[in-house]
Amino acid sequence: MSLILVLLTGLAVAGFLSRDTSKTPASVQKTSTAKSPRTLAELLELKPAELEGTDIALMNLLCAEGLPGAENLKVEDCLATLDKWATHTKREIDRNYHHFRKDPAYYYHSEAFYKMLMLAVVVYEDFGVRYNPKLIAPPSEMRGDDHFFADSRDILIHGMASPRRMGTCSSMPILYIALGQRLGYPLKLVKARGHLFMRWDSPTEKFNMDATGKGLDKHDDDYYRRWPFPLTDVDIKEDDYLKSLSAAEELSVFLSIRGACQTDNGQFGDALASFNLAHQLVPTWKGNQVLLAGARQRLARPVTLVQQQGMANIPADPNPLNRIQTKSP
């Protein structure tokens, strides 16, 4: 199985336009026990329970540490930008609320959907965030050697919270979730095969969204069972597809993306470390098992040497691919 099919791929999603294009919060809604690590090493020291309530944007940004494309990364500046954007977005949502009152049917009679649609429009129109056009490709044209992950700015959110203002389907949902959570919205990250999307997930309302184009698409789970690649019940069980992810699972996804970037840049030892960390967080995911096995297979140095460098948790079997059944979508 190619790396590109196990991880996230660049898919353009066409959204519909809002008929309008046009503050309260300026910080993330956190629990009283939420942690604020300053480095990737500090983040990795946190237990899964301690990750809950940690800013999804902070976790994502710290996973860019040291990657190609993140040489000038300043995490605090990116977080300050997101806080500023959240404040502006809240103003616009409130200012345009009369459109929802006038025609609630247009927004599926859902105030939550109105808020998310306005968030998507503001991100596109006011902040100028776009999908990197060089990475747009339909599923039928995806290749494992296209170096989709080579530039960390395309796959983690610092590429959008900077003057570049570009991302992909592996980073844009995280941007929306980070902004929405700053507004107090119950947003979750969800995986499909080769794709990430977001979910409004409250006790009273639940719906899935994609916002990689000029607006917002709303889809049910059945849509993602078919797109971008078909999913069987076994696939869903083995990789927790279509499930709202926990913070630890989100971090596992981000570390896998980090490993993919390192792989595309020939940093195979570092990639092995990232995939190993992702696997430690969620060892049951088939994707994590396959990525770890593939990383170990690519690495030219003996496994014993890598273990001596502080990675003792890597399985001793030099080729676990022999015991992992892989399959193409």
Output phi, psi for 60, to 5 deg. -65, -45
> Who contacts 101 (Cβ-Cβ below 8 Å, separation ≥6)?
none
Measured CA distances, 320 to 137, 292, 313, 326 (Å): 32, 9, 14, 11
Domain regions of the chain by residue span:
10-14+49-239
Domain with residues 10-14+49-239, CATH architecture = Roll (3.10)
Measured CA distances, 126 to 131, 150, 171, 214 (Å): 15, 28, 18, 12
Q: CA 281, 285, 291, 295 torsion: positive or negative?
A: positive
Say if residue 326's pLDDT is above 90.
Answer: no
Provide the pLDDT confidence category of residue 212 given band limits of 50, 70 and 90.
confident
Model confidence over 249-293: pLDDT tens digits?
999 999 999 999 999 999 999 999 999 999 999 999 999 999 999
Spatial CA neighbour of 276 closest among 309, 240, 229, 233: 309
- Round to whole Å and give the CA distance between 80 and 85: 9
What average pLDDT does the segment 78-106 reach?
Answer: 98
What average pLDDT does the segment 1-14 reach?
Answer: 36
Q: At what angle do helices 268-281 and 247-264 cross, to 10 degrees?
A: 170
Lowest mean pLDDT among 13-17, 34-38, 81-85, 226-230: 13-17
Say if residue 29's pLDDT is above 70.
Answer: no
Model confidence over 122-131: pLDDT tens digits?
999 999 999 9
pLDDT score of 323:
33
What average pLDDT does the segment 19-47 reach?
Answer: 66
Say if residue 21's pLDDT is above 80.
Answer: no
Q: Which amino acid is at 54?
A: T
Lowest mean pLDDT among 28-42, 194-208, 254-268: 28-42
Provide the pLDDT confidence category of residue 136 given band limits of 50, 70 and 90.
confident
Element (H, E) at 129: none
pLDDT score of 313:
45
For the residues of 160-227, what is the DSSP string, one character each?
Answer: TSSTT-EE-TTTHHHHHHHHHHHTT--EEEEEETTEEEEEEE-SS-EEEEE-SSSSBEEE-HHHHHHS
Alpha-carbon radius of gyration of the chain: 19
What average pLDDT does the segment 17-39 reach?
Answer: 52
Residue 132 Cα to chain centre, angstroms: 15
pLDDT score of 319:
34
For the residues of 61-108, what is the DSSP string, one character each?
Answer: HHTTTT-TT-TT--HHHHHHHHHHHHHHHHHHHHHTHHHHHH-GGGGT
- Round to whole Å and give the CA distance between 189 and 185: 13
Say if residue 200's pLDDT is above 60.
Answer: yes
Say if residue 5's pLDDT is above 80.
Answer: no
Measured CA distances, 253 to 45, 235, 245, 256 (Å): 17, 17, 10, 5
What average pLDDT does the segment 87-106 reach?
Answer: 98
Model confidence over 109-123: pLDDT tens digits?
999 999 999 999 999
> Who contacts 324 (Cβ-Cβ below 8 Å, separation ≥6)?
286, 289, 290, 293
End-to-end CA distance of the chain: 9
pLDDT score of 141:
58
- Round to whole Å and give the CA distance between 228 and 240: 16
- Round to whole Å and give the CA distance between 250 and 254: 6
Let me know if 63 is exposed, middle or buried by CB neighbors in 10 A (0-12, 13-18, 19+): buried
% of the chain surpassing 90 pLDDT: 74
What is the rounded average pLDDT for all residues in the chain? Answer: 84
